[in-house]
A and B are shown apart, each in its own frame.
Chain A
Amino acid sequence: MGRILTVSSQKGGVGKTTTALNLAYTLGRLGNRVLVVDTDPQGGMALASNLRKKTTLGLAQYLQGEAQAEEIISPTKDGALSIIGAGVNEASDILAIEDASRDGRLEEALRALTAGFDYVFLDAPAGIGSTVIADFGVSDGVILMLQCRSLLLKSLPIFLKLMRQVRSDRNPRLQLEGALVTMWKGDDPLEREILEDLTRSVPEALFFRTVIPYDDHFEQASIRAVPMILLPDGRDTARPYLELAMEMKERELLRGMGGSKDEHTEGLF
């Protein structure tokens, strides 16, 4: 069974959609079957990936019984990555997603739609709300997006408390996959100091080594609606996502290598 990861943050505009798309694409290139589901009614994933060119059907239509799973799961050219858009075309579609978040149908839908993939990334709406809670309810882990801005970081407790509550009440599998710093401006001394503090204060196991720097190329990739690596000169800018994907793999490997007590040590065969 694959892993469902919610890409989430307390604030909007920190690069959730960009991260979900680029990380998913990278893991797809590494040989995994990957699905991205846009649960954000703003529908940024459809714009970031040019999905609208292919279909306007998405999660909202599925939840309203207007579309089947195969109509909303759109495989990309390489076949490894598939995307489900939010399908928000009318105001009523937003309400459909929110209603389904509250009454449990979104969780049911996500469980049904995500079967058979190695990785599923849920691109969650910013902040805390019923849709985010539903995303957490079906997820194995949360990638928490951070920006090195003190005011943003001060809003973390309520977000972490929500995660803790969902884990305690609804989904004991929920883990914090890692906190990821994005849009980092290395030449800003304030950001450097905040990053230094974060690395010293957030347990290493919960803090990605990889930092996604701020780069104008991301805006170009958004305009052209492609993952960064597909831009003609985007390889260097996309590199942090390759490193992030490798770091995730490394963590998974280490999680599975918990070791055993001497008396229980088993051989290879």
Chain B
Amino acid sequence: MSILKDSSELKEAFDLFRDFVEEGAPVRYRSMGGADSLQSVDGVVPETAPRVVTAPVVQTQKVVGATPMPVQPLEEVEGEFRGDRLENALIAMCRRGGFKGAVVADDSGLPLAVHNSPVETEEIAAFTAILGDALGKAGRFLHEHGADYISMDINYEEKVVVRSFDVLSLKMYLMVLCPQTMDERAEVELSLQQIASILSA
């Protein structure tokens, strides 16, 4: 999460800013290197890519009262190269699930595909290593060796979830940034099949 995003004053200011957008006009946020996001005034959520994780609180269970997400059918992923197809799969997953960003990385933290990464690209390796390690250790302590899913609130509104999975005996991670009130599990699991099939092709 970045410097400003943890500030309740700034969040309030950003909400107030939206009051000054002309009624009925779309609210567009400028993107630093990515595609612009465009949403209606009502219920707008800026498509941010927070990059510095602060005040982590590790959770091992779902948020109580989370909103179940309706799962939409997967469409065919296009792209000449595997990297393109992976990225397109992430974009489609974020669009369907209402996620803010996603990353697929290998066991060493090398990002294989990124869409609005929740952390800086160079920090993905460290982030993946920490959460991957936490997953492994927590599984051992709990004698639950199938533990493959971890969710971490990174501020008052958003969470990062990491799902580990295996492709051809290689450990991989899918990391997703989404609102805490969302039950993202179904969409993550559904998309994971598609991502795994692209990686194993």
Contact = CB atoms under 8 A, between A and B. Distances in A.
A175 B36 contact: no
Nearest to B2: A197
A253 B134 CA distance: 55
A163 B20 contact: yes
A153 B29 CA distance: 18
Interface residues of B, number: 29
A177 to B, nearest CB: 9
A196 B18 CA distance: 18
A207 B5 CA distance: 17
B48 interface: yes
Kindly name the residue among A155, A160, A190 whose own CB sees the greatest number of chain B CB atoms within 10 A.
A160
B7 A154 contact: yes
B26 to A, nearest CB: 9
A205 interface: yes
Contacts of B16: 156-157, 160-161, 164
Nearest to B36: A204
Nearest to B38: A204
A204 B3 CA distance: 20
Nearest to B28: A204
Contact of B48 (A153, A155, A201): A201
Contacts, number: 92
B32 A200 contact: yes
B14 A201 contact: yes
A194 interface: yes
- Prevailing SS type, chain A contact patch: helix
B17 interface: yes
- By size class, the interface of chain A is 20 to 34
B30 A197 contact: no
Nearest to B5: A197
Contacts of A196: 2, 32
A205 B46 CA distance: 13
A257 B13 CA distance: 29
Given A175-B20, A197-B4, A201-B4, A155 B9 contact: yes
Contact of B7 (A150, A176, A204): A150
A47 to B, nearest CB: 32
B108 interface: no
Contacts of A163: 20
B157 interface: no
A198 B148 CA distance: 35
B3 A193 contact: yes
A199 interface: yes
15 contacts: A150-B10, A153-B7, A175-B22, A193-B2, A197-B4, A198-B4, A200-B32, A201-B5, A201-B17, A203-B18, A203-B21, A205-B21, A205-B25, A205-B27, A206-B17
